[in-house]
Amino acid sequence: MKKTFLSFLTLILVLGCNQPPAVREVALDPAWKFQTGNDLQWALPAFDDSQWPEISPASSWESQGYTNYDGYGWYRKTFTIPEDILKAVTHYGGLLIRYDNADDSDALYFNGQIIGATGSFPPNYASRYGEKRSYTVPLEYIRTDEPNTIAIQVYDGGGNGGLMTSALIIQPVAPALNISMQYNVDAENGVFMGEAPRTLSVTINNREEKNKKTVIHLAVTTDDHQPVHELSRKITIKKQDSITCVLPLEIFAPGFYRCTLRLDTDGIRGEPTSFNIGLEPEKIISPVDAQEDFDDFWTETRSILDNTPMRPAMKLLKEYSTGARNIYYVEMRSFGNEIMGGYYAVPKEKGKYPVIITYMGYGSNPWMPHTDGEPGFISFVVSVRGQGIYKAGNKYNDNWIVWGIEDKNDYYYRGAFMDLVRAIDFICSRTEADKDRIAAEGGSQGGAFTMAACALDDRIAVAAPTIPFLSDYPDYFRIVDWPRSDIDAYMKAHPQATWEEIYKLLSYFDIKNLAPRIKTPTIMGVGLQDPTCPPHTNFAGYNLITAPKDYRIYQNNGHNTPPEWQEVRMEFFKKYLNLD
């Protein structure tokens, strides 16, 4: 009996020793060394960063003392991997590093070795703002007996910049990675219409040489984070095989929803995959909440603009005018006698030409149309007061969303919206412009500007806003953190302010309230995964437009649209401008 007990105890110990190490994740300390500029020496672990200041990756570098800075920034951290994680890293052969976001593109180095990049840097700059980052570090790059160094190179092309993530997570690469998952939303472009079945198809692949038991977890919430339903499904997958499960989506009200899928295998919690879906977005109802004097306010505002002399000035930029069009720098006076302007491109061959006005995003760096761009069109890339070409040293401190928020008459967007109209005034003053063929477009704030311009002026013949900003503030602030966070900061500094007062003022500038005035044929581009201007807010205004309209939802895009959008919007322009 004693021998049997000892044998049993020995078996338990042997089995225990053979158990794979447990897998857990750790959030790295939020204090990171930081430096603006760009030097690849900063990726090396031997580099001395002791004189660098520290910042947090949880918010933009602008909010931490680097006001108005656009360009490269580097984050560095030297740390010791916890013993239990190091044991699992050694056992499984690698380390996973993940974080929620970077504004706009980034590359991660580990002990001086580049591990991966998301987006790309100039000269072929491509933003991947809003996308989750995940990088796998091979065991050969990991120091098991001394500290390791992570260096993250970030490039910001305009507006806020930095990592902008709640935490950077490290965890061992677990064997569960041999159990992979793909999903498909069983609806065109991820949006369900009518009474069609609302389901997800989830395929699990088992690349191991033995059968595996795993659990699929699905959680669905509204876009403003209210729980809708959850389910878990246990499945067994044969070795070197795959299985597809169809999961029901219990969604019934028109709108947009957040889905999170996760696999748990062998007791190891898998990394969640999150994405948005939609249901009958054209039925979203966001009631207009305009004040009684809404129309009078804008009539008076427009009257003030109309009585303000424009006094335009143009300067030919010869160095940029080498192709089919001349490029001009233009300035003029607008509401409140403020300066606004932009870059104006005109075909060199004499004639009357249709016009495309482009309104810019929130805090965008200035850019000009190409001398050979948009053949046969005049292009006007507009910079409103304090933004674009006027961004450097502007009096609004890059915080346009709260500037003058104490009084609707002083609020930043009162003047900025009039700058949109003034741009149309300028176009209509030009003999080379076909005043009956004016198109307007823009993305994000530029999308909002496009809709506001159409609502406040009837001279635009066709419009193509994308991912429009500034719409349906009460719902907007329940769905995403920004720009509410800027207003929260304002209210903290002004405790006498109330949300009732804030929402009342914002209602005068809410695109949703301006949308019923739009009589311009409009096509809208939407990024279904947009974390900045969520689709709900796009449709809050769009659904109130009574003019001919259309939209495109891009399932895999965030705060952007794919290249094909350029062709879609041009075909729409040509249709309503009566161009072949």
- Read off the pLDDT of residues 560-578 as tens digits, 9 standing for 90 and up: 999 999 999 999 999 999 9
Q: pTM here?
A: 0.79
Instruction: Name the average pLDDT for the chain.
Output: 93
List the structure tokens of 219.
């959680």
Say if CB 522 and CB 465 are below 8 A apart.
yes
What confidence score (pLDDT) does residue 268 get? 73
Q: In CATH terms, are 19-173 and 176-283 the same topology? A: no
Higher pLDDT, 505 or 69: 505
The answer on pLDDT for 19 being more than 70 is: no
For residues 131 and 140, give the distance between their C-alpha atoms in angstroms, rounded to a whole number.
Answer: 27
Q: At what angle do helices 412-428 and 294-306 cross, to 10 degrees?
A: 50
Mean pLDDT of 282-299: 96
Say if CB 192 and CB 279 are below 8 A apart.
yes
What confidence score (pLDDT) does residue 209 get? 86
The residue whose two tokens read 């406040």 is 456
Say if CB 106 and CB 120 are below 8 A apart.
no
Predicted confidence band of residue 129 (pLDDT cuts 50, 70, 90): confident
294-576 CATH, one of 3.40.50.80, 3.40.50.1820, 3.40.720.10, 3.90.550.10: 3.40.50.1820
pLDDT digits (tens, 9 = 90+) for 373-413: 999 999 999 999 999 999 988 999 888 999 999 999 999 99
Predicted confidence band of residue 11 (pLDDT cuts 50, 70, 90): very low
What residue spans define the domains of the chain? Answer: 19-173, 176-283, 294-576
Q: Which helix (H) or strand (E) holds 418?
A: helix 412-428
What confidence score (pLDDT) does residue 16 get? 45
Mean pLDDT of 326-343: 98
Architecture of domain 176-283: Sandwich (2.60)
For residues 59 and 165, give the distance between their C-alpha atoms in angstroms, rounded to a whole number.
Answer: 7
Longest dimension (CA), the chain: 107
Q: Give the best-scoring range by mean pLDDT among 3-12, 311-320, 359-368, 386-395.
A: 311-320
What confidence score (pLDDT) does residue 10 get? 46
What confidence score (pLDDT) does residue 175 get? 58
Cα-based distances in Å from 363 to 68, 424, 437, 444, 531: 9, 21, 28, 11, 17
19-173 CATH, one of 3.40.630.30, 2.60.120.260, 3.40.50.300, 3.30.70.2190: 2.60.120.260
Mean pLDDT of 222-228: 96
For residues 244 and 183, give the distance between their C-alpha atoms in angstroms, rounded to a whole number.
Answer: 9
The three state secondary structure string of 541-573 is HHCCCCCCEEEEEECCCCCCCCCHHHHHHHHHH
For 411, the 3-state DSSP assignment is coil
472 exposed, middle or buried (CB, 10 Å; 0-12, 13-18, 19+)? buried
The residue whose two tokens read 């003058």 is 404
pLDDT digits (tens, 9 = 90+) for 148-158: 999 999 999 87
For 302, the 3-state DSSP assignment is helix
List the structure tokens of 150.
């992570």
Cα-based distances in Å from 446 to 63, 228, 453, 463, 487: 23, 33, 10, 11, 21
- The torsion region of residue 291 among left (phi > 0), alpha (psi -120 to 50) and beta comes to beta
For 22, the 3-state DSSP assignment is coil
Predicted confidence band of residue 579 (pLDDT cuts 50, 70, 90): very high
- 330 bridge partner residues: 314, 342
Mean pLDDT of 428-457: 98
Q: What are phi and psi of 237, to 5 degrees?
A: -115, 130
Q: Give me the amino acid identity at 9.
A: L
What confidence score (pLDDT) does residue 462 get? 98
What confidence score (pLDDT) does residue 9 get? 43
pLDDT digits (tens, 9 = 90+) for 489-500: 999 999 999 999
The answer on pLDDT for 128 being more than 90 is: no
What confidence score (pLDDT) does residue 38 get? 96
CA atoms within 13 A on the CB side of 67: 10
For residues 76 and 108, give the distance between their C-alpha atoms in angstroms, rounded to a whole number.
Answer: 10
Report the alpha-carbon angle 72-73-77, nearest 5.
150
Mean pLDDT of 183-206: 95
Predicted confidence band of residue 182 (pLDDT cuts 50, 70, 90): very high
Q: Give me the amino acid identity at 133.
A: R
Say if CB 420 and CB 456 are below 8 A apart.
yes
Predicted confidence band of residue 13 (pLDDT cuts 50, 70, 90): very low
For residues 78 and 73, give the distance between their C-alpha atoms in angstroms, rounded to a whole number.
Answer: 17
Predicted confidence band of residue 439 (pLDDT cuts 50, 70, 90): very high
The answer on pLDDT for 284 being more than 90 is: yes
Predicted confidence band of residue 8 (pLDDT cuts 50, 70, 90): very low
What confidence score (pLDDT) does residue 156 get? 92
Distance of CA 268 to the CA centre of its chain: 31
What confidence score (pLDDT) does residue 15 get? 42
